[in-house]
Structure 1
Amino acid sequence: MKNMNQPILTQVQDRIGTIILNRADKRNALNSEMVEEIKIALSSFSTNPDVKVVIIKAEGPAFCAGADLGYLQQLQSNTYDENLEDSRNLKDLFYQIYTFPKVVIAQIQGHALAGGCGLATVCDFSFAVEEAKFGYTEVKIGFIPAIVKVFLLRKIGEGKAKQLLLDGDLITAQEAKEMGLINWVVKSDELEEKVNSYAQKLIRQNSGQSMRLTKEMIALVQEKSLVDGLDYAAQMNARARGTEDCQKGIAAFLNKEKLTW
């Protein structure tokens, strides 16, 4: 666990790497330092053999309120090139999570707004409490939800994405689930247990290598034509057959042996 004054905290336990947003007094609003620290933590977890699943959660009543207001004021005096560099920093974080070689779960204990909603969007799975609200409010302050839009269109489709991005209103956790923005809505006193239980299920039951390759394919196949996508899938299928995990899994299945990954 890192120093409590840090923008994030990290820990590794039971094959789970946890990133804790630690700016509760700022509703865990994103600034350049927090974004950079999350990226560093993810890079560390990506090569850590003791980490098979990553959980992103937060301190305080809010999951993440988007960009820090003081930070936004500072950006107004930046040049275009300075703002572009900063924007690319957030883009790199979202892309890192989306293409991360291990499953990433968002544990959402409070509101996830604007960039905070984007952070939840790019995670593979998300659990939220019933009281949490979600939304992309950028259009209400003359800004645009530019980066997250790329991922949101993939996740929930154009129609629902337009409703969220052009309307700008907040929605409930249940509405977010119905739109496909999040996966599960749970009671607040069950959130921690439900997330950890699901993470442990993935850890025990599934090959880490198989989950990595499946995530990779989901990210890449959508940009290919039908013919190219199928050819890519056939190549990945053949590649997977030769892996140690596949050979181990098939042998255990044929021999009716219990397999724990």
Structure 2
Amino acid sequence: MSGITYAVADRIATITLNRPEKRNALNGEVVHALRKAFAQAEADGQVKVVVLAANGKAFCAGADLDYLRQLQQFDFEENYADSRELMQLFREIYELKKPVIAQIEGDALAGGCGLATVADLSYAVPEARFGYTEVKIGFVPALVSVFLVRKIGEGRARELMLTGALVPAETAERFGLITAVVPADRIAGHVREMAERLCTEASANSLMVTKQLIANVFDTSLEDGLEAAARTNAETRRHPDCQKGIAAFLDKKKPEW
């Protein structure tokens, strides 16, 4: 796949941005390859967790400069079609039926920061910086705004998107943009441990349904949300995973997921 690598081991799919010479910047080919890789991971019954990582000093610097030059020649319909490709990538990661963990070992800027935003869990080295820098080049962080406001609230989102400021990993953690800051010599092991814990300590169906509940909570009224939650509870209780887990709990055994 162009600009990325894909590997599976021990029920963990690792998708790695692999354009270090371009600071893992995004273009149409890379976005397409990422969409294909995440779809492959979702369809693979042997994959339970997905890790998104990157080679090189940057996690993802946003849009590729050559790609930006190309976009200037596009008409509205071409730009709209291209924008929808990135929209679909963000949405597919956000709604993926399996947990996505971002392993961030360098700067995550603009669209790259968007990738960190839509991941379920994000761990970053202290040296990483985060920012939605679009306004500084006359652009807007339109797509990511939908997810960022949900994730960290309107106030913090306004601060980051209007100023285009770069913030250190510690601030990103404090804002709720990322899950935690982990030293560089430990981050790979930490991400691996978290992925393995999700594989061994949680039901695949429960992970999928929980992600769906979180994604839908902002789209319904309190009454409708609670009604949907009650139905989900009832449906889940009848699922084989739940029956297996409760039986193991009552027998004081650990279920094998």
Short-chain TM bin: over 0.9
CA RMSD, 1 decimal: 0.7
Name the residue aligned to 2:131. 135
Name the residue aligned to 2:251. 255
How much has 1:87 moved relative to structure 2? 0.1
- The question of 1:23 aligning with 2:19 is answered yes
Q: Deviations over 1:93-124 (max 9, x none)?
A: 00000000000000000000000000110000
Q: Deviations over 1:215-256 (max 9, x none)?
A: 011111211011111111111111101100000000000111
Q: Distance in 2 between matches of 1:44 and 1:131?
A: 32
> How many correspondences in the alignment?
257
Verify the 8 A CA contact 1:54 1:105 in the aligned structure 2: yes
How much has 1:179 moved relative to structure 2? 0.1
How much has 1:257 moved relative to structure 2? 1.3
Q: Distance in 2 between matches of 1:221 and 1:132?
A: 31
**Alignment of structure 1 residues 189-200 onto 2, 5 Å:** 189-200=185-196
Q: Distance in 1 between matches of 2:155 and 2:170?
A: 18
- The question of 1:208 aligning with 2:193 is answered no
**SS of residue in 2 equivalent to 1:18:** strand
- Which of 70, 80, 83 is residue 87 of structure 1 equivalent to? 83
**Alignment of structure 1 residues 224-235 onto 2, 5 Å:** 224-235=220-231
- Which of 27, 44, 49 is residue 48 of structure 1 equivalent to? 44
Matched to 1:27, the amino acid is R
How much has 1:260 moved relative to structure 2? 2.2
User: TM-score when scaled to structure 1?
Assistant: 0.97
Name the residue aligned to 1:145. 141
Matched to 1:201, the amino acid is R
Q: Distance in 1 between matches of 2:77 and 2:178?
A: 34
Q: Deviations over 1:145-197 (max 9, x none)?
A: 00000000000000000000001110000000000000110111111100001
Q: Distance in 2 between matches of 1:258 and 1:158?
A: 41
Name the residue aligned to 1:39. 35
Verify the 8 A CA contact 1:221 1:232 in the aligned structure 2: no
Verify the 8 A CA contact 1:62 1:112 in the aligned structure 2: yes
Name the residue aligned to 1:236. 232
Q: Which runs of 5+ in 1 are unaligned?
A: none
**SS of residue in 2 equivalent to 1:151:** helix
Matched to 1:250, the amino acid is I
Q: Distance in 1 between matches of 2:31 and 2:238?
A: 38
- Which of 155, 162, 169 is residue 159 of structure 1 equivalent to? 155
Verify the 8 A CA contact 1:11 1:17 in the aligned structure 2: yes
Q: Distance in 2 between matches of 1:17 and 1:137?
A: 30
Q: Distance in 1 between matches of 2:198 and 2:155?
A: 32
**SS of residue in 1 equivalent to 2:219:** coil
- Which of 54, 57, 81 is residue 53 of structure 2 equivalent to? 57
Q: Distance in 2 between matches of 1:127 and 1:14?
A: 20
**SS of residue in 2 equivalent to 1:126:** strand
User: TM-score when scaled to structure 2?
Assistant: 0.99
Matched to 2:32, the amino acid is E
- The question of 1:245 aligning with 2:214 is answered no
Name the residue aligned to 2:117. 121
The list of structure 1 runs, each at least 4 consecutive aligned residues, that deviate by more than 4 angstroms after superposition, is none
How much has 1:134 moved relative to structure 2? 0.3
Q: Give aligned-pair identity as a percent.
A: 54
Q: Distance in 2 between matches of 1:17 and 1:8?
A: 13
